[in-house]
Amino acid sequence: MTLTLAVNLANIEKSFGTRPALLGADFSLEWGEVHALLGENGAGKSTLMNVLSGFYTADSGVVEVDGHPVRYENPSAAAAAGIGMIHQHFKLVGPLSVIENIRLACARRAGWKTQGQALAAMQELGLQLGFKLNPKSRVDEMAVSDRQKLEIMKVLLAGAKILIMDEPTAVLTEEEAKAALGLARQLAQSGRAVVLITHKLRDVLGYSDRVTVMRAGKTVINGASSAGMTGESLSRAMVGAEPVAAVPRPATRPRREILRLIKINAAATEHGVPLHDISLDVRGGEILGIAGVGGNGQAELVETLIGIRKATSGEVIFNESPAPDGPEERREAGLRFIPADRMGMGLFGELALNVNVAVPRLLGQKPEKRWFVRKPWMTGIAKTAITDFEVAGAAAETTVRLLSGGNAQKLMLAREFAGHFAILIAHSPTRGLDIRAVQAVQTRLRAAAEKNVAVLLISEDLDEIMELSDRVAVMSHGRLSEAEPIGEVDRGKIGRLMLEMA
Amino acid sequence: MYKPLVSPRLAVSRRLTALTLTGGIVTGLIVCTCFLLTQGMGLSDLASQFIGYTFGDPEGLDQTLTRSIPFILMGLSVAICLRVKFWNIGVQGQVWAGAMAATAVSLYHIGPAALRIEAMFLAAAIGGGLWCGVCGAARLYLRANEVVTTLLMNYVAAFLAQQLLYGAWRNPTDSYPVSQSFAPGETLALLGFGHLHAGIFISLAGALFCFWLCTYSRVGFMARAVAANPLAARAVGIPVGRVVLLMATLGGALSGLAGFCIVCGEEHKLTQFVGDPDFIFKSIVIAYLARANPLGVIIAAIAVAGLDTAGDSLKAFYQLPGATVLAIEATLLLCVSSFEFLLRYRLDWVKTGKVAK
Amino acid sequence: MSGILTAWLGTIPTFAAPFLLATIGLIINERAGVMNLGVEGIMAVAAVVAVIVNLSGGDIPLAILGGIGAGLVLTAVFAFMAVVLRIEQVLAGLVTFALGIGVSGYLGDSFENQPITGLSPLPAAWFAHLPPVLAGILDQDLLTYFAFVAAVAIWFVIEHTDLGLRLRATGEDAPAADAAGVSVPLMRIGAVMAGGVFCALAGTHLTLVGSHLWVDGMVAGRGWIAVAMVTLSRWSALRAIAAALLFGAVEALVPQLLSSGLNVPVYLIEMSPYLATLAYLLISGFFQTTADAQPADLARPYLREERR
């Protein structure tokens, strides 16, 4: 008996303006399976699934759902056909409650007329899935893993038969990730079809039936069984060449302490947690890695370090004296910062490249120019930045938001690494970058450490922490564990620490 | 079947910018011309009123240029504030504040007589600066929306002025509610062409100063960064609050100086008509047409002043109410800002229905 | 003295109603994420057209409809600019305001200062058995009553119906609303037009109930005060009732003081509503809850294909 495919995508092409995202991608999905869609950042996985779920429209190609050719003009149409996408960045309305979010997405499709009907449906589904959510909680006050559960419930109550989960484990701890992936299994076994978009090899190998690998907008491996796959073969398919060698770690030579935090307490950001008695020290020439899932105080820590958030108690020490207040003064004292959200908190997307690199040099007590900032000077520094840091596809006057993620990050580095600096705070510096850009950034971090800079690396990517750090600490629920030398730490220990500190 | 697909435009060429601005202005002018034609005016009448009289006739040119003196400063005021995404809807109030401050210096003989007019200049700048600066501070520290605060301050200033003109500052020898006239040393000298007075130098100097500030000074770059991304500006160390406050205060001071030019250059006393409510919208039109460029403000201000002059004769000869000029300016701004859509977005036509294999 | 008190209290609802109607209209707009600064202009055109219709022989319902129609035409211009063209909403609002003032001045030029019959209060006999103060307060016209009833009704729709839920979602997080199946542009246009109806009603109230004639500039900044009132009401139509009554009380005091013969600084008193609004705005800034109440996606244009 031949079963119709739940989904068949063939030769899909999609461009955003002049930027091509999909160059002929294929994907097929069977009922009852968990199918992993693997690829590095920028390969086109999310874009392809956004086409399927009606969020984008393909420029050309075949889209068939349950054997019929379809074209969805908007997410509503796709949802009506039973396609539910759980985005990496949840599409929940923060200030509304759980039940309001569910009603918003499902009321019309499920035919509910009263809140009572919605509540009943929600409770019934909760029993089936094995978890409970408080219908009255405000979404923006909920934990990330609960919000993901809400997204899943929302999509199921709207009648989804085909579920697409975009990077579901990116924001979860090890334990939560296992639970989420187990849920995916359960849903597939109940007759639905689940797509798992991920760039983590372990998710693929442990939890999927088949895997499709994408690279640079095309499909490289189309629906092969996961059983016979190895990490190396998948990695090679993702990158297209031999896996890139890890950044070499030089022998450690401990130097003088440059940055110290003593029992820092700080209030929480809008969706974060308060800091509780954070103490750490970073020496010149070393990379201190802080591991941990986002939302556990990293944002607050970073804001306190750069000076835009005042600690309620505790001290920040630069070079054995109290750090000055304010980001301008700390920058002058030698602090540099690479934010996690490079377009949101780092670069000025609307402005030109030369203005972006010039602005920090105009600040502080001894700015490079004060009264007459001239074009030739700006162009000069811009050109140097572009060449030294290999920013591709850009000229001095290019608007920064046109740069790709990797090149934007290289520009960010060019800006921050200018002049003499002693402390570098790097917050998720390789998030969303393709493998070559990741390598470039990591090399720069190592190089900075070699020049005696005290580097504080805060990252959700455990592999990155393990590879780069000289010492490792774990951040959880606003607290920081004792930093331990890399030799004495492994993934298991980190996972345990995260649980202990909960 | 085809349907339109809107997507953000990624790169904007300078040529496209110039084209859309021109397109917007031309369309606006055509629409207004059509409307005026329906009011019984012929095309040649329109041409002679709007161009011939306004710029060609000495009397009309005099009126246009004299009016443009405060308009330049008011346009600069809004433009400077726009540079940090601060909406200054309070130009009328700031003009009043500057005018009242200058008048106070004159009436109460503040400062040595030889430096009286300089003191009035300073007082006007401070008065206007405070009137807007307060709203800037309110936005910074109290999250108060500056659109509403600057706007309400217009009414406060206007009523305060009325109260003074009918009360403490009223000139007993005049039947109208006006203040005592200023002494000869307290006025701006005439330049020999009609009513044109020395205030023109203040306006032009103001424009040059603003041009330098925005294009070459480090404050200008900081302002650009703040407008583009205030969070990133803060993170990199720019004192965002101080920059916004500075620009807001400077903007207010410029409007205050416009008030100074009106009382010391034209009226030579404080009158009920110094602060015209129409200033609010006119200054925004000027700033927007000039795309917040200080040098462009000079041209836009003269154009709007010319529109006013033409409007006066329209009122006199065709019985069109004064509000018509406002409607014309609104239409112009409507067309220009609508054309800007083409700068930010691109329109493509895509086929609906099944996608081919 | 009690005569003045009764007169003052009796006129409060009349002064409060236009504020309330305009604020309700703006709340509908802003909860959907659109800031409509053109309200002053919408009120002006509605006010003048209501007068023109009444003077030309139309009865009251026709005058009201005329006013609403005129207001909706201007609102449609704003909706096109702000939602379809996605022009900066502050700018679109200011253009709408200027257009409204300009057009209303032009239309009303030959109709200025001509009294109309307007809308009368309910028959006094209905309230004769009540104490004078209460009778004075309750004896209002239908449009004033409508304002207060509408406030409650709109509050209910926004907070407790599915339509209101979709409206709120659009204003808090447009991408999430889009993903949930709400058509953001349609919802916003609908909200703007619905809000425009109430803003227009506010304008018709000014002429049909308040002054019974048209004078250029008679809206006198009430639209702007309504914009501030939305913040003060923390975007709730119910709280808007309280805010409107407060301002109505201040505004109603002015003619009482003027006619009392006391030597009062006239212009300073006329300044007081605006000063009071400013004061309230500044004071409410001290409270975090006000900032939290603002719809998160207010004044941010939304386009689905944008990669945010």
Best of B221, B226, B346 to disrupt the A interface (most A CBs within 10 Å) is B221
Confidence at residue C307, expressed as pLDDT on a 0 to 100 scale: 40
CA A8/CA A82 separation, integer angstroms: 15
Residue with tokens 């009126």: B63
Phi, psi of B6 (to 5 degrees): -100, 130
Per residue, the 3-state secondary structure of C147-174, as one string, reads HHHHHHHHHHHHHHCHHHHHHHHHHHCH
CA C87/CA C303 separation, integer angstroms: 12
Confidence at residue B357, expressed as pLDDT on a 0 to 100 scale: 37
Name, in order, each residue with C-beta under 8 angstroms of A351's C-beta and a sequence gap of 6 or more. A399, A400, B224, B225, B228
Contacts of C176 in chain A (CB under 8 A): 90-93
Q: Are B284 and B332 in contact (CB under 8 A)?
A: no
- Six-digit token pair at C154? 């709109």
Task: List A280's β-bridge partners, or say none.
Answer: A261
Phi, psi of B91 (to 5 degrees): -60, -40
Of B263, B262, B96, B270, the C-alpha closest to B168 is B270
Q: Are A60 and A25 in contact (CB under 8 A)?
A: no
Strands A257-266 and A313-318, how do they pair? antiparallel
Alpha helices in B143-277 (DSSP H): 146-166, 199-215, 218-228, 230-236, 240-261
Q: Is A310 on the interface with B (CB under 8 A)?
A: no
Average pLDDT in the B341-351 region? Answer: 80
Name, in order, each residue with C-beta under 8 angstroms of A438's C-beta and a sequence gap of 6 or more. A430, A464
Q: Are A108 and C181 an interchain contact pair (Cβ–Cβ within 8 Å)? A: yes
ipTM: 0.87
Per-residue tens of pLDDT for chain C, all 308 residues: 677 788 888 899 999 999 999 999 999 999 999 999 999 999 999 999 999 999 998 889 999 999 999 999 999 999 999 999 999 899 999 999 999 999 999 899 889 898 888 888 888 888 888 887 888 888 888 899 999 999 999 999 999 999 999 999 999 999 889 888 888 999 999 999 999 999 999 999 999 998 999 998 899 889 999 998 998 888 999 999 999 998 898 888 888 887 877 777 878 888 888 888 888 888 887 776 666 677 877 777 777 654 42
CA A292/CA C278 separation, integer angstroms: 47
Domain with CATH 3.40.50.300 in chain A: 7-239, 257-334+420-500
Q: Are B354 and A71 an interchain contact pair (Cβ–Cβ within 8 Å)? A: yes
- Six-digit token pair at A247? 């950044």
Rounded alpha-carbon distances, angstroms, from residue C108 to A25, B290, B324, C46, C57: 64, 32, 11, 11, 16
Residue with tokens 């009321």: A107
Of B226, B220, B271, the C-alpha closest to B102 is B271
Q: Is C306 on the interface with A (CB under 8 A)?
A: no
pLDDT tens for B27-68 read 998 898 888 888 777 788 777 777 777 888 888 889 999 999
**DSSP tag of B50:** I
- Six-digit token pair at B39? 């009011």
Phi, psi of B143 (to 5 degrees): 55, 30
Nearest to A91 among C168, C179, C296 (CB): C179
Q: Which domains are assigned to chain C? A: 2-112+141-293 (1.10.3470)
Q: Is C211 exposed, middle or buried, given 0-12, 13-18 or 19+ CB atoms closer than 10 A?
A: middle
Q: Are B255 and B46 in contact (CB under 8 A)?
A: no
pLDDT tens for A113-124 read 888 899 999 999
Residue B350 confidence (pLDDT) above 90: no
Strands A60-65 and A68-69, how do they pair? antiparallel
CA geometry: angle at B267 spanning B262 and B270, to 5°?
A: 85
Q: Are C227 and B147 an interchain contact pair (Cβ–Cβ within 8 Å)? A: yes
Rounded alpha-carbon distances, angstroms, from residue A235 to A229, A443, A464: 10, 20, 16
Q: Are B217 and A373 an interchain contact pair (Cβ–Cβ within 8 Å)? A: yes
- Six-digit token pair at A160? 């989804």
What is A257-334+420-500's CATH topology?
A: Rossmann fold (3.40.50)
pLDDT tens for B322-344 read 788 888 899 999 999 999 888 88
pLDDT less than 50: residues of chain A: 1-2
Nearest to B235 among A71, A308, A373 (CB): A308
Q: Are C209 and C197 in contact (CB under 8 A)?
A: no
Q: Are B255 and B206 in contact (CB under 8 A)?
A: no
Contacts of C106 in chain B (CB under 8 A): 320-321, 323-324, 327
DSSP code string of A442-456: HHHHHHHHHTT-EEE
Secondary element (H or E) of residue A153:
helix A144-157
Q: Are C172 and A94 an interchain contact pair (Cβ–Cβ within 8 Å)? A: yes
Q: Are C172 and A96 in contact (CB under 8 A)?
A: yes
Amino acid at site A279: S
DSSP code string of A47-71: HHHHHHTTSS--SEEEEEETTEE--
CA B208/CA A2 separation, integer angstroms: 78
CA geometry: angle at C13 spanning C11 and C16, to 5°?
A: 110
CA A16/CA A44 separation, integer angstroms: 12
pLDDT tens for B196-253 read 899 999 999 999 999 999 999 999 999 999 999 999 999 999 999 999 999 999 999 9
* Closest-approach residue (CA) in chain A for B209: A371
Q: How many residues does chain B have?
A: 357
Contacts of B337 in chain C (CB under 8 A): 81, 85, 87-88, 91-92, 95
Q: Are B72 and B301 in contact (CB under 8 A)?
A: yes
Q: How many percent of chain B have pLDDT more than 70?
A: 97
Q: Are C97 and B322 an interchain contact pair (Cβ–Cβ within 8 Å)? A: no
Confidence at residue A502, expressed as pLDDT on a 0 to 100 scale: 62
Of A47, A52, A37, the C-alpha closest to A213 is A37
Chain A: closest CA distance from residue B254 (Å): 21
Phi, psi of A36 (to 5 degrees): -85, 135
Rounded to the nearest 10 degrees, the angle between the axes of helix B294-318 and helix B323-339 is 140
Nearest to C224 among B151, B321, B334 (CB): B151
Q: Are A29 and A5 in contact (CB under 8 A)?
A: yes
Contacts of C275 in chain B (CB under 8 A): 152, 156
Q: Is A74 on the interface with C (CB under 8 A)?
A: yes
Strands A19-29 and A423-427, how do they pair? unpaired
Task: List A19's β-bridge partners, or say none.
Answer: A16
Name, in order, each residue with C-beta under 8 angstroms of C173's C-beta and a sequence gap of 6 or more. A91, A92, A93, A94, C296, C297
Summarize chain C as % helix, strand, coil (round to 5).
75, 0, 25
Confidence at residue B355, expressed as pLDDT on a 0 to 100 scale: 43
Q: Are A256 and A284 in contact (CB under 8 A)?
A: yes
CA geometry: angle at C21 spanning C19 and C27, to 5°?
A: 95
CA B280/CA B282 separation, integer angstroms: 6
Best of A362, A368, A412 to disrupt the B interface (most B CBs within 10 Å) is A362
pLDDT tens for C222-270 read 999 999 899 888 899 999 999 999 889 888 888 888 787 777 787 888 8
Q: Is C166 on the interface with A (CB under 8 A)?
A: yes
What is A7-239's CATH topology?
A: Rossmann fold (3.40.50)
CA C153/CA C166 separation, integer angstroms: 17
Q: Are B155 and B22 in contact (CB under 8 A)?
A: no
CA A348/CA B226 separation, integer angstroms: 9
Q: Measured between alpha carbons, how far apart are the two ends of chain B, in Å?
A: 18
**DSSP tag of B357:** -
- How many CB atoms within 10 Å of residue A502? 10
Task: List A83's β-bridge partners, or say none.
Answer: A162
**DSSP tag of A331:** H
CA geometry: angle at A73 spanning A71 and A76, to 5°?
A: 110
Chain B: closest CA distance from residue A118 (Å): 35
- How many CB atoms within 10 Å of residue A347? 27
Confidence at residue A254, expressed as pLDDT on a 0 to 100 scale: 65
Q: Is B1 on the interface with A (CB under 8 A)?
A: no
Confidence at residue B356, expressed as pLDDT on a 0 to 100 scale: 40
Secondary element (H or E) of residue A86:
strand A83-86
Confidence at residue C304, expressed as pLDDT on a 0 to 100 scale: 67
Q: Is B288 on the interface with C (CB under 8 A)?
A: yes
Nearest to A17 among B7, B225, B229 (CB): B7
User: What is the phi-psi region of residue A412: left when phi exceeds 0, alpha when psi lies from -120 to 50, beta otherwise?
Assistant: alpha
- Six-digit token pair at B240? 């965002």
Rounded alpha-carbon distances, angstroms, from residue C39 to A41, A99, A420, C12, C195: 47, 35, 55, 22, 9
Q: Are B32 and B332 in contact (CB under 8 A)?
A: yes
Q: How many residues does chain C have?
A: 308
